[in-house]
Structure 1
């Protein structure tokens, strides 16, 4: 298929995260004809719960947990930074293709990922071990801005959950060149893949060109973006860019579930 015939031909898309997540998304969009520019608008910093994290990782290495969970690829970076050891007898459940890639690249084993669809809700539905009546000891590691979908689902089922904020999500200023490319329309599509990224887009690019596509992935992202006043004209099926925007969002969702940023 020629690039002209691909669904995202003509789009130059800002990818707002780096690492495995950014690599997977960028590859998927390029395969569909887009040009991509990776310029992280968020990064990850040390947790405000460092003492709790260190204690939890010591307990993890000692084999105190039946399971640990992760739905962000950054958790693998945190584990590696702390030289954390996951015993073979401790099961590991992860959600998100980027998360799975990061864990495997770091040398950590994975016991369970959702099969029906790569989402937190699917994991909770398919995770047979959490519905046997036994109380499991589970360690959940997540971001400070995450929605604790998995954590709350396990607590609701009566399990003994230790939840720790493993890292903080912080904003990163875009470079002068990126700002110029966005303001000039050279970058004509922005991928908004989390509430925090929506906040950074609204703060850093307050005057987007009218024809810039703002593609929000995930219900929570959409709600925050709307509250911040980010443009959503292309959400109207009658809008000229509607099909292009839908193709962009669907391309992202084909490789990255929104839950990859939630818990």
Structure 2
């Protein structure tokens, strides 16, 4: 297939997150013919529960927990920032391709992941035999301040001893003046909206998008939240070939768990 024949040829796409997530998504988009600009609209800040986090990590290193869970690649960064060591007897359960890759790159061994067919937090609960064997497990769940505690709730419902800690906060980041100019002029002609928080940032930072700019929201919840925040989609793009191809490409590279803030 020639470059001109690829489904995303002609698109210059703003990728709104950096790190492992941004690299995976940008690579997938370029393989389909797009040009990409990685310009994070969100970043991650220290938790408001720092004392609880430090105490939980001390207990982790002491071998108190049977399992630790993560649904965001940023959790690996948090552990590295605190020089946290996961003991050999404590196992790690993770969801999301970017999350798993980030932990592997940081030298942590992942013991349990969902299947490819249902790579979600709910899917992890279905293929985690240890949580249904009748033994009460001590589990540390680390997440962002805006992520839904699906794993935490599922483990508590099964009777396990769960310590849940907000490990980091998701905050908005203003893009550079150059990037803003490229969006407003249409030189960047496609925006990827991969979470509700990113949708709010796009609506706030780019209130006057050119009419032909494609805004691709991944997932119905993200779309609803972005529209509620004031983000407007051009009606001609509602079901366009380019927009569908953009969303399919992102979903093929990153599963829904990695779309969380």
Conserved? CA contact 2:61–2:86, under 8 Å: yes
Higher alpha-carbon deviation: 145-154 or 96-105: 145-154
Whether the 8 Å CA contact 1:146–1:261 is kept in 2: the answer is no
Provide the residue aligned with 1:255 in structure 2.
Answer: 253
Q: Aligned-pair distance for 1:157?
A: 1.8
- The aligned counterpart of 1:91 is 91
Aligned-partner Cα distance in 1 for 2:122–2:249: 21
Which runs of 5 or more structure 1 residues have no equivalent in the other structure?
none
Aligned to 1:135: 136
Q: Is the 8 A contact 1:95 1:114 kept in 2?
A: yes
In 2, Cα distance between the equivalents of 1:137 and 1:218? 33
Contact kept? 2:53, 2:165, Cα under 8 Å: yes
Q: How does 1:192-203 map to 2 (within 5 A)?
A: 192-203=193-204
Which runs of structure 2 are paired with 1:31-110 in the superposition (5 Å)?
31-110=31-110
Residue 207 (structure 1) aligned with residue 205 (structure 2): no
Q: Whole-Å Cα distance in 1 between the matches of residues 59 and 211 of structure 2?
A: 53
Counterpart of 2:167 in structure 1 is: 166
CA distance in 2, matches of 1:18, 1:70: 18
TM-score by length of 2: 0.95
Q: CA deviation at 1:225?
A: 0.9
Runs of 4+ displaced beyond 3 Å: 234-237
Q: Tell me by how many angstroms 1:171 deviates.
A: 0.7
Which 5+ residue runs of structure 2 have no aligned equivalent?
A: none
Counterparts of residues 239-254 of structure 1 (less than 5 Å): 242-254=240-252
Shift of 1:262: 3.3
Q: Hey, what does 1:190 align to over in structure 2?
A: 191
Following TM superposition, by how much is the alpha carbon of 1:118 offset from its aligned partner in structure 2, in angstroms?
2.3
After superposition, give the CA deviation of every residue in 1:16-74 in whole Å (9 maximum; x if it has no partner).
11000000000000001110000001111110000000000011111111111101100
Q: Determine the C-alpha separation between the residues in 1 that align with 2:13 and 2:49.
A: 35
Distance, in Å, in 1 between the alignment partners of 2:152 and 2:7 is: 38
> Is the contact made by 1:193 and 1:258 (CA closer than 8 Å) also made in structure 2?
no
Change (3 A) 1:217 1:95: same
C-alpha offsets along residues 73-123 of structure 1, whole Å, 9 cap, x if unaligned? 000000000000001111101111111111011111100111123221211
Q: Secondary structure at the match of 2:253?
A: coil
Aligned residue pairs total 259
* Aligned partner of residue 215 in structure 1, secondary structure: strand
Q: Tell me which residue corresponds to 2:23.
A: 23
Measure, in 1, the Cα distance between the counterparts of 2:112 and 2:194: 25
Contact preservation (8 Å) 2:214, 2:237: no
CA distance in 1, matches of 2:78, 2:236: 38
